[in-house]
Amino acid sequence: MHMVFENNLENLILHWTGRFKDLGAGMRSYEFKKGVWDAIGAATSASGSTIPSCFGPNPPDVANNKQATTADSWCFWLLYIGPVVLRGQLPEEEFTHFLQFSKLVELCLQFKYTCEEVRKIRYGFANWVYKYEELYLQNDAERISACPVTLHALLHIADSIDDCGPVWAYWTFATERYCGYLSPKFKSRRYPWAPHDTLIFKILTPYPTCVLLPPKKPASTVTQELLRKIIIHFATRFSVNQRIVKKYFDPTGITRWSVVRRLEGGDDMRAASLLPFAEDRRDATFIRFDALIDKNAKNRRAEIQEEKQTFFGRLQHIFVVDLPAASELRLDKRTTFILAGIEQCIIDSTDSVNFSYYSKLAPLEVLDITCIQCLVGRVVAGPSQWAIIDRSGTLERSYYVASDH
């Protein structure tokens, strides 16, 4: 895949910056104006603070830091940052062509493929190369150097998949990353394998999907407005009046936690009100979450028909609340609930490659912690707009069991 990231992708950038073998743009007008590529590099580097560290290393300045720009960082840029920072900077045909490249590479990076997906890769790259020749070769024999052999190699990716399996099974990223893992271990000749991790105390929860991590805060830090939001959540959850919830709800027993960890390889998601940044000062508070929505909410006379929808938002609070056994709440024993206070992103638009854009956050609402699926990152997309980076794609982690009530 180095052929993709350090050859074909970089060749596109050389075209856009007017540095590809002194060919110029010919009959097209895709070259950046002065300072645009430097601004894109700066925006890429700045995005590191709003992209969680679990997504990978800080993105480098792709315009001015060649030493830090590796095939791995180009891969992340192609899939998640380029589609945002290039918006409005290229003519529509060139930009659409770039997006097609990004989607084809994303398809190649899947863990497994169907026969139909391999067919899409085969014909997708064939069409992409044909369009490349139209945009950059321009049917001009004097521009033949615009088509290096690495461009032709794209046509054989599907053949390699047919012969050898998914590309992750034989690319060199795994070896390179393992070398990067080994190199810090050799600083001590006597104890090269000394552990570097610190002990973290955590609270095991009655929820099988997560654990909570400190620090935590007592009930005295929970405001009246937050208490009201929690009561509304339980009233909706149990389909009862708020007055009934208040009979059994003890506000002095609430605790607030700073981090929730999704088990089985999930993310550490931080409550913005207590501990918004990880040790590396990168924001780990924006999340993807699922919720059940009544499709007939606008028609009060219609029967409730729930469907699961995906949302994005900022995790502000993590609450642990105990409720006693109560027949009015259909609780036959004392039960612990873990709740999340979330400010939902109000989505302005979603583009052709499923990037969602937002400018504002909705007022806080309280949901069960199991609604939260994973961390998302953000990239500045305008003076007051953000693009959401969701690396999970179509992965669905949540499930819902129909209630007997």
- The three state secondary structure string of 67-123 is CCCCHHHHHHHHHHHHHHHCCCCCCHHHHHHHHHHHHHHHHHCCCCCCHHHHHHHHH
- Please say if the pLDDT value at position 198 is more than 50: no
The continuous run of DSSP H or E covering 350 comes out as strand 335-350
**Cα separation of 346 and 368, whole Å?**
20
pLDDT, residue 196, reads 45
Return the number of other C-beta atoms located less than 10 Å from residue 78's C-beta: 20
367 or 188, greater pLDDT: 367
Instruction: Give the tens place of pLDDT for each residue, 308-334.
Output: 899 999 999 999 999 999 999 999 999
pLDDT (mean) for 33-57: 94
Q: Where are the domains of the chain?
A: 2-179, 203-389
pLDDT at 35 (0 to 100): 95
160-182 confidence digits (pLDDT tens): 999 999 888 877 766 766 676 66
**CA 150 – CA 141 distance, rounded (Å):** 18
Each residue's pLDDT tens digit, 121-138: 999 999 999 999 999 999
Cβ–Cβ under 8 Å, residues 59 and 48: yes
Q: What is the mean pLDDT of the chain?
A: 88
> CA dist 11 to 18, 149, 217, 404, Å?
10, 12, 53, 59
Rounded to 5°, the CA angle 291-296-300 comes to 120
Sequence-ordered strand ranges (E) for 243-325: 255-262, 268-270, 286-294, 306-323
- Quickly state the pLDDT bin for 193 (edges 50, 70, 90): low
CB 86 within 8 A of CB 13: no
pLDDT exceeds cutoff 50 at 108: yes
| Banded pLDDT at 371 (limits 50, 70, 90) | very high
Pairwise CA distance, residues 300 & 6, whole Å: 57
Distances (CA, A) of 268 to 46, 132, 265, 290: 22, 41, 10, 17
Pick 170 or 390 by higher pLDDT.
390
pLDDT at 170: 79
